[in-house]
Amino acid sequence: MLIQQLKELESDGIVRRTDYGEIPLRVDYSLTPFGTSLVRAMEPLCSWGEEHEEDIAAAMDRRKTSR
């Protein structure tokens, strides 16, 4: 599952994969400039989530109990 997600992020230009051609396999992943810009765009959303963590947890608990 992780490999598939990394392949998708690479094909979308968000991460760069470096294959060292070694056995055992050794690869590194790094953010592209496009990926870095996505991180900057997500920071406000992450901050909002941290600020409202208790409210979000309560909403999730209510959802579980209403099923």
Q: What is the DSSP track for 9-64?
A: HHHTTSEEEEE---SS--EEEEE-HHHHHHHHHHHHHHHHHHHTHHHHHHHHHHHH
Q: In this prediction, what percent of the chain has a pLDDT beyond 70?
A: 100
Does position 67 have pLDDT exceeding 80, yes or no? no
CATH class label, 7-65: mainly alpha
What average pLDDT does the chain have?
Answer: 95
Rounded to two decimals, the pTM is 0.69
**For residue 39, what pLDDT is reported?**
95
pLDDT tens column, 20-51? 999 999 999 999 999 999 999 999 999 999 99
Residue 64's alpha-carbon distances to 28, 41, 49, in angstroms, are: 39, 30, 19
Per-residue pLDDT, averaged over 2-25, amounts to 96
Does position 66 have pLDDT exceeding 90, yes or no? no
Domain ranges of the chain: 7-65
